Structure 1
Amino acid sequence: MVLGTDRRVLALAMARMADALGNSFLIIVLPLYIASGQIAIDGIVGTDVLGFTLTEEFLIGLVLSLFGFLNSFGQPVTGRISDRVGARKPFILGGLVVFGVASAAYPFVSSYAAVLLVRAFQGLGAALTVPATVALVNDYATSDSERGGNFGVFNTFRLIGFGFGPIVAGIVVAGGFGRETVTQYMLGGFALSGFNAAFAIAVIGAVVSFALVVWLVDEPPRPDAEAADSLSVKVLDPDGGLDTVFAVGVGTLFMALTIALFATLQEPINNALGQGSTLFGLQFSAVVVANVFLQVPIGNWADEYGRRPFIVAGFALLVPSVLAQGLIPLVTGVAGAVGPALMLLARLLQGVAVAMVFAPGLAIAGDLARGGNSGTTLSVLTMAFGLGVAFGPLVSGFLFSFGLLAPFAFGAALSLLGLLITVTQVEETLGTGSTPPDADDPSAVGGD
């Protein structure tokens, strides 16, 4: 239940909601901003690089992906440092400052290289914030029986911001629901474009998050010895196969990649279904909206019935729901509202699948992490999620050259592989009394 959740978890959840709202704005706004002609890409589009012709879709995918790459590869480092120093809050606040300043820089850049640089700084800001935040949520859990619920609440609020951000972004840019043109706002005699208004909201989201963390979040007491434990991540299990946390991380990577396939393909999907950007925003957000309603109950059920059954069921549903997104435009064409409605349904089913995988997966990692090692252990999953979101737009931008079905067929194949890995490599952790591996285990990597 949300009302019974630790107020500090709720504060972190609301802070991430505001921050995620600002970031998800940019997922919708940046492709439109680049395609609008305000960013100079004419000299880049059509260029051959190692036999591959750069397209507008690929350049947009690169901008969206760069954030995820730097965010993801930075997370194990920042999570490990926060474990070592025994503090989380300074990393969260520092990351929000970097993200907010970078968001404010977009109206002042006009070249593609400058946009890449600004997006890179946003990724670094997120790398500071995310591992420390999820580590605090894990540290606040007093027992395994409430960990899934805590992560369910945290993910729900975060996804509210991430899911409704694209819908609001489309309205802000166009100045109303269902409009397709960029509007101009007048504020005290000054003209403000819809793009700049969206960038301003991203900055406001970072500011609100900063204030919530400063006022409502505190560091849980931790003995000095706890923060000094070995900080290592296992890849292999001593009994053979993959380590459970690493296996869940691989599955999380595949799952996140399937979510992000959709973002780069806004124009071809809209053309194939005969719809506008507002409907695309609704479809993009459907995955997240499903999670908003399901993360808390699934997290609580995972605390009661176990983590693994939900992850298995989630991947089993993910395979057909992802494949359907590539088939629907081919089958329905531009047949009125049928195609957009079916696409919305497929995205909702994908959201159900994601909800079954994500909160129980985080709970497994939390079960296997010591309090002083939670930043390092949980960063395996947050890094995997970020990498998936980063690779998704690039993969879809590249595979689109083989047809609209190709990116989603690839995503469905990865989902099937994730199901096989979960069934064969992931062990149940609830009620098993599992403890983290010994620091001297030769299968551990990254230890000091």
Structure 2
Amino acid sequence: MGRTGHVPTRSEGETVVSDAMVFGVDRQVLTLSMARAADAVGNSFLIVVLPLYVASGVVSGTTFGLGEALLTGVILSAFGLFNSALQPFAGRITDTVGRRKPFVLLGLGVLTLANFAYSLGSSYWALLAIRAAQGIGVAFTITASIALVNELSTDTTRGGSMGTYNTFRLLGFGIGPIAAGTVVNGGPYTVLGVQMSGFEAAFYIAAVSAAISFLLVTVLVRDPDVERTHDPEGTSIAILDHDAEGLLDPVFTLGVASLFMAIGIALLSAIEPSVNARLEQGATLFGIEFAAFVLVQVLVQTPIGRASDRYGRRPFILAGLVILAPVTVAEGLVVAPWQMIAARALQGLAAAMVFAPALALAGDLTSEGSSGTQLSVLTMAFGLGTAIGPLASGFLIRYGYPIPFAFGGILACVGVVLVYTQVHETIEGGGLAFLLDDVRGIIARS
């Protein structure tokens, strides 16, 4: 499928403001973002808790000869693998039906039940099945919610909306790892006369967080009027660019770049014991390192998204991938916790420069009624990357501690080449010339 969608233009002083805006963000986008933040708090608990749970001796059963690090990577990756595999299918269903909200709720409901089920699982294969069930349910939540954000945005606000949505989601995702180590280490607990271990408390918190998200969406989010798509090309995923502007379809190319980015940022989770041993630290410091990446994104994601509305999407995507390559390699060379925190923070800046502008650029190219299918290319790629990352690091760590991180750096370099050669800009009148105009305006006013 070629890309013949609209190309936004920019003129000086142009502003589009909805009558339902709060702090420059559509109210529905803001509500959906808050709901995803509550859900993300619980889900990010598991990134830190599950490796510790597997290593604690509580989990038993056959491992079929897999090492602990690789087995942990398999369990963590099951969510992303099932999630990613089903996202195009889920996106196509939401486009065909013309409804988004029911599918958001479906995924959140499954996530609530699955998070609670961890407290009942005591074998490796039970954990794997629960993690897979999470991925299946959340595939619908992700595709439907990102389509909602796209459809509630305009050409002049799409980058900011994507940035806001991701900021709130990441805020929850950043808080979770910091709290997770503390919750696990602080157990056992007695709540209303019921005793629970630190692991059980973490699983219950994750379940309650998802339930809160479910209630917020139920009460405060409505379905917009979405025209059902009857165009088979609108509900298909193209690989080649049939408009002959490049070899690869630009949305597909952005998906590949997002895949490489996600692999690089997810390398850390499955090798937590190796990282802790190398840096001589405990679970709490690892949680801070993991969260540093996320918290930096919280600070810069929305400003970068809004800047991409004004100056263009492509420059930010390229700059982010250029920064990502050496920073990922550096994570394999650091020898102190503060160095890892600094590297993860820079990695967060790089990822923020890629994520929201890439989604906004894909949204610019999406025709009406096909947001679920087309944007699922990027969300699927990101989820697949978070699944491949732990698998890759769990496998490559045997060849030396720096090897997984070198692999991530190489992928980021390939992403730079692909975006530079295959993706065109969708914002006319932006870029360096527009930035210089703004700078001259500021100088003139001062």
Q: TM-score, normalised by structure 2?
A: 0.89
Question: Residue 178 of structure 2 corresponds to which residue in structure 1?
Answer: 167
Q: The residue matched to 1:135 in structure 2 has which SS?
A: helix
Q: CA deviation at 1:375?
A: 0.3
Which deviates more from structure 2 when the two are superposed, residues 69-78 or residues 236-245?
A: 236-245
Aligned with residue 295 of structure 1, among 285, 297, 301: 301
Contact 2:99 2:226 in 1 (8 A): no
Which of the residues 170, 192, 195 maps onto 2:196?
192
In the alignment, does 2:48 pair up with 1:28? yes
1:328-347 aligned at under 5 Å gives the runs 328-329=334-335, 339-347=336-344
What aligned pairs does 1:142-161 form with structure 2 within 5 A after superposition?
143-161=154-172
| Match of residue 55, structure 1, among 67, 75, 93 | 67
- Look up the match of 1:278: 284
2:383 to 386, 399, 412: 386
> Which runs of no fewer than 5 residues in structure 1 stay unpaired?
48-53, 176-182, 330-338, 433-448
5 Å-filtered alignment, 1:192-271, equals 192-223=196-227, 226-230=228-232, 231-238=235-242, 239=244, 240-271=246-277
Question: Which has the higher mean CA deviation after the structures are superposed, 291-300 or 110-119?
Answer: 110-119
Structure-1 residue corresponding to 2:17: none
Decide whether aligned partners of structure 1 residues 244 and 91 sit closer, same or farther in structure 2, where only a CA change above 3 A counts: same
Output the amino acid matched with 2:343.
A
- Give the C-alpha shift of residue 2 in structure 1: 6.5
Q: Does 1:416 align with 2:417?
A: no
2:293/2:347 contact within 8 Å kept: yes
Q: Where do 5+ consecutive residues of structure 2 fail to align?
A: 1-20, 430-446
Identity %: 54
Q: Is the 8 A contact 1:65 1:389 kept in 2?
A: yes
Paired residue secondary structure (2:189): strand
Shift in Å at residue 273 of structure 1?
Answer: 1.0
Question: In 1, Cα distance between the equivalents of 2:249 and 2:28?
Answer: 31
Alpha-carbon separation, structure 1, partners of 2:313 and 2:307: 8
Which of 417, 424, 431 is the matching residue for 2:428?
431
Q: Secondary structure at the match of 1:234?
A: coil
Q: 1:303 Cα deviation (Å)?
A: 0.1
Query: What residue number does 1:365 align with?
Result: 362
Tell me the residue number matched to 1:436.
none
Q: CA deviation at 1:411?
A: 0.4
3-state SS in 1 of match to 2:334: helix
* Contact 1:2 1:153 survives alignment (8 Å): no
Separation (CA, whole Å) in 2 of partners of 1:11 and 1:227: 26
Please report how far the alpha carbon of residue 415 of structure 1 lies from its aligned counterpart in structure 2 after TM superposition: 0.6
SS in structure 1 of the partner of residue 417 of structure 2? helix
Question: Does the CA contact (< 8 Å) of 1:92 and 1:130 recur in 2?
Answer: yes
Deviation at 1:4, TM superposition (A): 1.7
Total equivalences in the alignment: 406
Q: Distance in 1 between matches of 2:226 and 2:420?
A: 36
Within 1, Cα distance between the matches of 2:191 and 2:371?
46
Distance in 2, Cα, partners of 1:222 & 1:285: 36
Tell me which residue corresponds to 1:444: none
Q: Deviations over 1:406-428 (max 9, x none)?
A: 10000000011011111111111
SS for the counterpart of 1:106 is helix
Question: 2:89 aligned with 1:77, yes or no?
Answer: yes
State the secondary structure of the residue aligned to 1:219. Answer: coil
For residue 235 of structure 1, give the secondary structure of its aligned residue in structure 2. coil
Quote the offset at 1:242 in angstroms. Answer: 0.7
Partner of 1:11: 31
1:251-310 per-residue CA deviation (whole Å, 9 max, x = no partner) reads 000000111101011111111111111111111111111100011100000000000000
1:405 aligns with 2:402: yes
Q: Structure 1 residue 44: deviation in Å? A: 2.2
Report the residue type matching 1:13 in the other structure: S
Cα contact 1:152–1:295 (8 A) shared by 2: yes
The answer to whether structure 1 residue 356 and structure 2 residue 350 are counterparts is: no
Answer yes or no: is the 8 Å Cα contact 2:313–2:358 preserved in 1.
yes
Distance across 2 between alignment mates of 1:196 and 1:374:
38
* Structure 1 residue 187 displacement after superposition: 1.5
Other-structure match for 2:442: none
Q: Which amino acid is the alignment partner of residue 392 of structure 1? A: G
Q: TM-score scaled to structure 1, two decimals?
A: 0.89
Match of 2:13 in 1: none
- Classify the secondary structure of the residue corresponding to 1:354: helix
CA shift for structure 1 position 168: 0.8
Q: Which amino acid aligns with 2:252?
A: F
Q: CA RMSD in A?
A: 1.4
Amino acid at match of 2:375: L
Quick check: 1:132 aligned with 2:144? yes
Match of residue 108 from structure 1: 120
